[in-house]
Amino acid sequence: MSGNSHEFVPLPARGRRYVHTRRVRLGDATASGRLRLDALARYLQDVAGDDVRDAGIDAPWVMRRLALELGSLPVFNDDVEVVTFCSGTGSRWAERRTTLTVDGRVAAEAVAIWVYVDPDTGAPAPLENWFFDLYGESAGGRRVSGRLRLPPPPPEAGSRPWPLRTSDFDVLAHVNNAAYWEAIEDELARAVPGARLAGAELEHKVAVEPGETLELRTSAADGHLSLWLTSGGNVRTAARVALS
């Protein structure tokens, strides 16, 4: 796999981990059979939610950023084992590491920052004692930053409208994490059809609200495809895909 600036820490010897298996279904795959990035993002989102529910916790989290290292991605009808654990904490966020394997082969590694929010106000809230009781051992005292890293689009970046659909929004009335990756898949098919993906990262700067008018801006250079969803000239989400 091709690395990037994010640290993909190994599975800890001790502490909570959650394991789930799912099959790549028809609605998860590209026309060539590869697991789509939006489906992969949904797998990661689902296993994170299942882990929290399995622990008996009803707590809202909002994704800040997600980075992927990609090997040979699963294909249609593959059974995928998904293993996730907490790999670090900040004051109001936590890092979650997830590994996807097929028949013992690592297909993808993921590291995500999730921000803990107050269910009444929707504002970021300090991590509570229950969190450290559950996840402190696997995190091992490792501290992580919630800082965003991707630059704004250059003036010469291409631009086209990106329409919002009702189905893009989830119960928080925000565009769901997985829906952003659909824009990435669409631009990959346009700009570099059939390209092999080595890695990807996506950062949420500002939540997209219903009624916004979005533009998808893109730039390709140095083996990367960079993308931005903007509204009124302001970046809402930034992404970068490494090609091999």
Q: Is the pLDDT of residue 170 over 60?
A: yes
Mean of all residue pLDDT scores within the chain: 94
DSSP readout, 159-174? EEEE---GGGB-TTSS
Q: What is the reported pLDDT for 171?
A: 87
Q: How far apart are CA 179 and CA 202, in angstroms?
A: 12
Q: Is the pLDDT of residue 2 over 90?
A: no
- Rounded to 10 deg, the angle between the 37-54 and 177-191 helix axes is 160
Q: Count each helix (H run) and each strand (E run) in the chain, helices first.
A: 3, 10
Instruction: List the structure tokens of 93.
Output: 């966020």
Q: What is the reported pLDDT for 5?
A: 65
What number is the average pLDDT over the span 61-75? 96
Please write the tens of the pLDDT for every residue from 182-229: 999 999 999 999 999 999 999 999 999 899 999 999 999 999 999 999
pTM equals: 0.94
- Please choose, from the candidates 89, 40, 68, 75, the residue with its C-alpha nearest in 3D space to the C-alpha of residue 200: 68
Residue 173 pLDDT level (bands cut at 50, 70, 90): confident
Q: What is the reported pLDDT for 3?
A: 41
State the Rg of the chain over Cα. Answer: 17
Q: Are 154 and 160 in contact (CB under 8 A)?
A: no
Q: Is the pLDDT of residue 1 over 50?
A: no
What number is the average pLDDT over the span 50-62? 89
